[in-house]
Structure 1
Amino acid sequence: MNGSLFQQALLDGEYGPHFFAYYYKQWNPYTMAYHQHNSTEIMYLISGSCVVEVRQSENEEERFRLKRGELIMLDANVPHRLIVEEGTSCRMLNVEFGFTAAAGAVPSIARLAEAEAGLAGLLREPFRSLVLPDPEEVFHVLKSLVLELDQHGVEGEGQGKERGSIMIGLLFSELLLRLARLRREQLEASQQPAQLYVRRAVEFLHQNYDRSIQVKEIAAEVSLHPGYLHRIFRAHTGRTLTDYLNMLRMEKARMLLGQSEIPVAEIADYVGISSRQYFHLLFRKYTGCTPVEYRNSLERFSWSDAQPDIRDR
């Protein structure tokens, strides 16, 4: 089967990945000859900088300068070469893959595309080459995938092979979904750049609500002036950054009060509020009751009631 990511058979049939090569490589100054292969390739720049030249046609070349945290995807049979210029170096992680008939518990590419519109869009919009910035989401998946492939090869046949195949398939599925998300965000940012900044700010809040956060820190994370971030955030969400953070913290507090055995007195610390009195005021503002009243009003699941007594066995 053709190694391209853009073929109708992937959307019509039951196919999964087949990996041809996967490796880390430290490159010093070097100019590679143009080459091509019947597989889709991902070149991820871990550190340093480099240039990738892609031959778009017989008389046309496109030159991409990559820096740390960027990746380039190359479709199958697209001539390309790597250039590491004098005085520079780079470290890369490369994965080359094609496709084979799918079997087993992992969803095929077609099933994934049916469930995720973003992936379906990626597969239906062919490109010869695509450069994407990565907030390390793809890198973590790529590292895990390559490690699993390495271990799978060492394990060989038997139960280890079966387990490895499932994990490899799941990691490849996550890789495609994350690439599709990055591509969608890239397209949206080219049309509505403010929306991308707001999304990144929201992601930062969800990952850091458990500690003290200031608006200037959020703005620095997304590389914007605090005043500008405040304006576009309110325009897109209808809330200020502080109000959104407080709402998020109260939702987390409700979850912990209702679904955990954490003492009420400690919940404030779990959601990044140092003052218990202020936490109680905020909780009442957002829910209409105190944390104690909220917990007492729920019939919470008790793990002690659900666990069988070992002595009865």
Structure 2
Amino acid sequence: MSKPTELVQLTAPPLPYFLECGHTVYQPGDEHPNRRNIGIFDWIVVESGTLFIGEAVQAWSLGAGQSLLLLPDRHHYAVKPCEEPTSFYWLHFHTVCAWQQLPAEEADHRYPDADEHYGRFLASPYSLQLPKAWDLPSPDQTFRLFRQLLDSLGERQSRAFWIRQQRFEELLHAMDLRQLESHASPVVVVAEKAEAYIKNNYRSELNSGQMAGALHYHYNYITRCMKQVYGMTPNDYLLHYRLEQAKLLLLKTEWPIADIAVYIGFNSTPYFSNRFALKNGCSPRAFRKQYIVTE
């Protein structure tokens, strides 16, 4: 096992959340239980020995420093009993967002429903790409985080809750292949740079030449990348982001509508109001009125 051939892709926020973990030692003859549709993700990390495990029609021989992510809706089983003492960590987690397993070469970060996701979670979507089966790049660090998770089981719940979630998120971060340059997609890199540029400059008059010069890519290429990743052109994303900032200002300030329009980069208040209404189904004034408390 070397470079991952399959990925489990999860959308966030919200991030997956920790449920429980443990450390198990199998003796020769012991084997993984036969389970089906357990409803949660089961991540296994082998510390020593070899674990022979299958899921659906796939089978693996996991050695020291290797991991496997078992899916909630599949059949998990032992391929054969252990032949030597085998030590491994396991961790259960869950997510309420969409996920899918796919070949590594088909991985993408397209968000055709980015507006819907933003409307539900008030944040732009992010796609975690977790390797299905993997040679851990830093097994000692992974084992250390698992030991800290296990140590937290003896803590008071008010303290243990935060320790577990923090350590779990560290493990997720280390697993996310998007953090590794060797797995980074050039299309995604360009799209994310363009997104950051727009967010940092949305109040200004942005044009294609400025963006191309700042990012050092041809504007047509930037557009293709953003369209592929976010389902929006740079201009579409700029409008989307400006209107989301307008909603925040309508809720957090008493500024006049015209002042908000100017602040977020619109030269025309009627045009701002029109675009806001098209996106949100009501005028800026009506949107604000929904949240005003009257005596």
Shorter-normalised TM range: 0.3 to 0.5
Higher helix share goes to which structure?
1
Length-normalised TM-score, structure 2: 0.43
Structure scoring higher RCO (CA < 8 A, sep ≥ 6) equals 2
Length-normalised TM-score, structure 1: 0.41
